[in-house]
């Protein structure tokens, strides 16, 4: 059993924001329908041996959902993939790494705390396209993608999706 987590913030206010790129990838990959699981504080879809979730706790408390789902389904940390925005990576690029992530990401920090381990996979989707580095990252990630960036993010989401399909051995 594997758990794939798309990080983001719930609600229309956050649609198409940089911080919600995890939700965007999961939405692209899931063939089934998400169901709200109140006890798990997440939207959940189970397809064969993969459990897909979108935490509904807001980014900084994502670990609550991840820990609850992982515990319920008895998923080990090394079988968890967390898809998230990353300001250390340029828009249009991504990395998949185990136990390594951005310098500072409160969602990941909370997941590590709640799991008691950092040995889970991070699918790091680059969202940084700032020309002005004086814009604070915490504010920047809550901005929506600009029209010219949507093509770039959709392209990288396609690449991430293809690689995850291979890694997770998902048949479509």
Q: Give CA–CA dist 114/117, Å, rounded.
A: 8
58 is in an annotated binding site: yes
| CA gyration radius, the chain | 15
Catalytic residue among 2, 19, 54, 122: 19
14 is in an annotated binding site: yes
Respond yes or no: is residue 84 known to be catalytic: no
H helix and E strand count, the chain: 5, 7
Q: Would you call 130 helix, strand, or coil by DSSP?
A: coil
Structure tokens of 149?
């960036």
Residue with tokens 């890694």: 167
120 is in an annotated binding site: no
> Are 26 and 83 a contacting pair, CB within 8 Å?
yes
Residues at the binding site for tRNA are: 14, 58, 60, 106
Residues at the binding site are: 14, 58, 60, 106
- Indicate which residues carry an active-site annotation: 19
């Amino acid at each position: 059993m594997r758990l794939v987590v798309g990080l983001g913030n719930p609600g229309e206010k956050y649609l198409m924001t940089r911080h919600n790129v995890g939700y965007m990838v999961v939405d692209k990959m899931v063939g089934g329908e998400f169901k709200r699981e109140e006890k798990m504080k997440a939207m959940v879809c189970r397809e064969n041996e993969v459990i897909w979730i979108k935490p509904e706790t807001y980014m900084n408390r994502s670990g609550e959902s991840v820990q609850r789902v992982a515990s319920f389904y008895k998923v080990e940390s090394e079988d968890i993939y967390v898809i998230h925005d990353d300001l250390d990576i340029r828009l249009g690029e991504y990395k998949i790494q185990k136990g390594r992530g951005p310098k500072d990401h409160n969602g990941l920090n909370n997941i590590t705390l709640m799991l008691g381990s950092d040995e889970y996979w991070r699918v790091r989707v680059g969202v940084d396209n700032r020309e002005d580095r004086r814009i604070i990252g915490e504010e920047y990630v809550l901005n929506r993608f600009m029209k010219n960036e949507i093509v770039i993010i959709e392209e990288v989401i396609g690449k991430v999706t293809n690689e995850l399909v291979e890694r997770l051995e998902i048949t479509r």
